């Protein structure tokens, strides 16, 4: 079996650290792992498969001899370094927003549109975390009934804002309980014991950029350029795992029982739907694993047509970011594309 020289760019960040963990757990055959980060982190040693790997500087020359590089960095850094990596024969799987809507860059969830991988030109984009969590259950429902419209509300954990978001919730929780003053830094407002209906910047249509990602990325991934999507994204005081309430309108009728049957065998999905026993997806159950839990499946009683409503949860650092990227590389190997 061929083995690959692999790099993680942004290795010390929340997603980069999870990528290293995922590579250790999963099946991608690795000959050598290279960890890349900013200058102040160079020399740090991190464990990988029983050995310590020393962090090196993220720079153009670092990609010499690298077969696959996972990018967990800002848009600016990705735009600067990814083309340089590709020039050196490296496949880039990028977790930033830099390349997602580029017409020459596949935007891929392996359970949903693996065929798009064949069209890559050196860079493959990892979708936004909330988009990935939605797409995994939406694809099999679309195949059955044909999606016309999606209305989604997301309840996004603070880990979506990285280590700073996690630290802010921990600190503020103590400050609130201790009666101390709050000074928000990672978020626009206090996050402890609060909800913030604002993630990313506001666009001209009054939707946030995070909300518009669901529309734009969903259309591209599902190859549905006219799909109607409305989304509201909310930051919630949960450490890890995003939750989403999704209502769909379909071309053809689909009953809740049919949806349960489809989702019970859909790749990447775990059906958790038994209201009689108070069994449904929750963030505490979906953290630190790689499936999208789906439940609360029911008719949309506000719809005159073919409407269905469900609730789903998934770990946005793992399946919503790091693991999806690693799965892309695994699928590329499986398809003989690298």
Whole-number pLDDT of residue 78:
98
pLDDT digits (tens, 9 = 90+) for 189-207: 999 999 999 999 999 999 9
Interval 42-59 mean pLDDT: 97
Residue 242 known to be catalytic: yes
**Is the domain of 196 the same as that of 296?**
yes
- Look at residues 166, 117, 215, 93 and name the one whose alpha carbon lies nearest to residue 317: 166
Predicted pLDDT at 27? 87
Domain extent for 288: 131-316
What are the pLDDT digits (tens) for 91-140?
A: 999 999 999 999 999 999 999 999 999 999 999 999 999 999 999 999 99
pLDDT of residue 153: 98
> How much is the pTM?
0.96
Are 95 and 140 members of one domain?
A: no
Which residue among 90, 120, 233, 242 is the active-site one? 242
The pLDDT score that the predictor gives to residue 242 is: 98
Count of structural domains, the chain: 2
What pLDDT does residue 191 have?
98
* Residue 90 is a catalytic residue: no
292 and 176 in a common domain: yes
Say which CATH number the domain at 71 has: 3.40.50.720
List the catalytic residue out of 90, 129, 231, 312. Answer: 129
- Quote the CA–CA distance of 134 and 140 in Å, as a whole number: 11
Q: Looking at the structure, do residues 306 and 274 belong to the same domain, yes or no?
A: yes
- 31 and 123 in a single domain? The answer is yes
Check pLDDT > 90 for residue 305: no
| Phi, psi for residue 137 in degrees, rounded to 5 | -80, -25
Same domain, 301 and 261: yes
Res 84: pLDDT: 98
Identify whether residues 165 and 280 lie together within a single domain: yes
319: phi then psi, degrees, rounded to nearest 5: -60, -35
Average pLDDT in the 303-313 region?
94
Q: In this model, does residue 212 exceed pLDDT 90? A: yes
In this structure, are strands 147-156 and 228-235 parallel, antiparallel, or unpaired? parallel
pLDDT tens for 139-153 read 999 999 999 999 999
* Mean pLDDT of all residues in 285-310: 95
Residue 323: HSE in the Cβ half-sphere, 13 Å Cα cutoff: 20
Mean per-residue pLDDT, 302-327: 96
């Amino acid at each position: 079996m061929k083995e690959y020289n692999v790099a993680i760019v942004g290795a010390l960040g929340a997603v980069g650290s999870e990528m290293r963990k995922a590579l250790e757990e999963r099946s991608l055959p690795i000959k050598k792992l290279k960890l890349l980060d900013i200058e102040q982190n160079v020399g740090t040693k991190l464990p990988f498969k029983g050995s310590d790997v020393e962090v090196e500087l993220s720079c153009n020359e670092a990609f010499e001899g690298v077969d696959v590089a996972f990018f967990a960095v800002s848009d600016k850094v990705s735009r600067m370094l990814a083309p340089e990596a590709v020039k050196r024969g490296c496949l880039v799987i990028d977790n930033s927003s830099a390349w997602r809507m580029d017409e020459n860059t596949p935007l891929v969830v392996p359970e949903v549109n693996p065929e798009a991988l064949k069209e890559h030109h050196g860079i493959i984009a990892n979708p936004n975390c909330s988009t990935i969590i939605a797409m995994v259950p939406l694809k099999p429902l679309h195949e059955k009934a044909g999606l016309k419209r999606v209305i989604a509300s997301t309840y996004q954990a603070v880990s979506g804002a990285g280590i700073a978001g996690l630290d802010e919730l921990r600190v503020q929780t103590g400050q609130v309980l201790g009666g101390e003053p709050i000074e928000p830094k990672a978020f626009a407002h206090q996050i402890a014991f609060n909800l913030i209906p604002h993630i990313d910047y506001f666009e001209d249509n009054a939707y946030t950029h995070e909300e518009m990602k669901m529309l734009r990325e969903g259309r591209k991934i599902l190859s549905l350029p006219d799909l109607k999507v409305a989304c509201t994204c909310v930051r919630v005081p949960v450490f890890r795992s995003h939750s989403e309430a999704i209502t769909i309108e379909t071309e053809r009728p689909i009953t809740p029982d049919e949806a349960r049957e489809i989702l019970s065998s859909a790749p990447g999905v775990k059906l958790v739907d038994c209201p009689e026993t108070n069994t449904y997806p929750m963030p505490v159950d979906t953290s630190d694993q790689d499936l999208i839990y789906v439940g609360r499946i029911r008719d949309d009683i506000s719809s005159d047509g073919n409407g269905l409503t469900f609730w789903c949860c998934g770990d946005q650092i793992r399946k919503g970011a790091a693991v999806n990227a690693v799965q892309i590389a695994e699928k590329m190997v499986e398809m003989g594309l690298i």
